A = this chain, B = another copy of it.
Amino acid sequence: MNFTGLSAFPITPATMDGRVQTDALVRVLERLRRPDLGSVGLLGSTGTFAYLTRAERRRAVSVAADVLGSSVSLMVGVGALRTDEACALARDAAEAGANAVLLPAVSYTPLTQDEAFAHYSAVATASDLPLYIYNNPSTTHFNFDVALIQRLAQVPRITAIKMPLPAQGNLASDLARLRSTLPADFAIGYSGDWGCAEALLAGADTWYSVIGGILPEIALRLTAAAMAGNAAEARRIDEVLAPLWALFKAHGSLRVVYAMARQMGLTDCDPPRPILPLDDAACREIAAATEPLAR
């Protein structure tokens, strides 16, 4: 199984009362059944894991395992506020056919570094699957110290990390510094679609991608160019996507991809309330930004 390259994060269409719409989920996932895709990241932030019950999350994993089969690696988000619940979700994911689990440091009471270490260690032993650290401070508000990442990289089965784009400074030097402190086979990837062409060009192992979950073609072309070192082509494609990146920043990528999924006829489901669907003006901007990509 290949977990590097493009990791596509799809939405999980669900009714207003939180029931996963498996027919729509199948339509979303069929577009991702491609051997050139590194992995599918089900039930990530874009997959609204935080808003779905354990039973619905398990149902979504089963559907994804059926649709993707052995053609694409399936990573499943197992974030939960309680350690025991995250462990149960990891066991569920393993039983339902996942190939890896992704764990965000979800918190309400802000966690200490030691608490996060204990949480990750517990979930790593809950199943036999590799565990990816999902470092997502814009939603979890937890910040990993480098020392914590180093400790976690020593824990069996913890094999990779998804990093946020650096708030300031230079991604390439940040990545080089981080890589120098971690085992050679520990994979480092990035999310934040608008910065990921540069992240891949700088040598990141994985692009954890929102756009990859809805428009896999163009994201795969960007990834292939960047990983082949073709900076001009990667940046050309990135520039084509720039209007969409601007909308991601303005509205949040989750709201934008829900509007895209509706425009593409994949689902009529809206994001879970309290998140609201975007208004007509924003939807028109999204349609205008995506229209050239379909050509």
Contact = CB atoms under 8 A, between A and B. Distances in A.
A115 interface: yes
Given A18-B82, A18-B84, A111 B274 contact: yes
Contacts of A112: 276
A178 interface: no
A67 interface: no
Contact of A275 (B48, B111, B141, B275): B111
Nearest to A138: B110
A106 interface: yes
Contacts of A109: 45, 48, 50, 139, 252, 254, 271, 275
A48 B81 CA distance: 11
Interface string A76-120: 000001111000000000000000000000111111101110110
Interface in A247-262: 252, 254
Contacts of A155: none
Contact of A17 (B51, B84, B110, B118): B84
Contact of A119 (B110, B138, B254, B274): B274
B139 A110 contact: yes
A273 B139 contact: no
Contacts of A138: 110
A1 interface: no
A273 B50 contact: no
A288 interface: no
A272 interface: yes
Nearest to A87: B273
A16 interface: yes
B110 A252 contact: yes
Contact of A50 (B48, B81, B84): B81
B276 A139 contact: no
Interface of A: 16-18, 45, 48, 50-51, 81-84, 106-112, 114-116, 118-119, 122, 138-141, 252, 254, 271-276
Given A109-B252, A111-B275, 16 more contacts: A18-B82, A18-B84, A50-B81, A51-B81, A82-B274, A106-B108, A108-B139, A109-B139, A109-B254, A109-B275, A110-B138, A110-B252, A118-B274, A118-B276, A119-B273, A119-B274
17 contacts: A16-B84, A18-B82, A45-B108, A82-B272, A82-B274, A83-B273, A109-B275, A110-B138, A112-B276, A115-B275, A115-B276, A118-B273, A118-B276, A119-B273, A119-B274, A122-B273, A141-B141
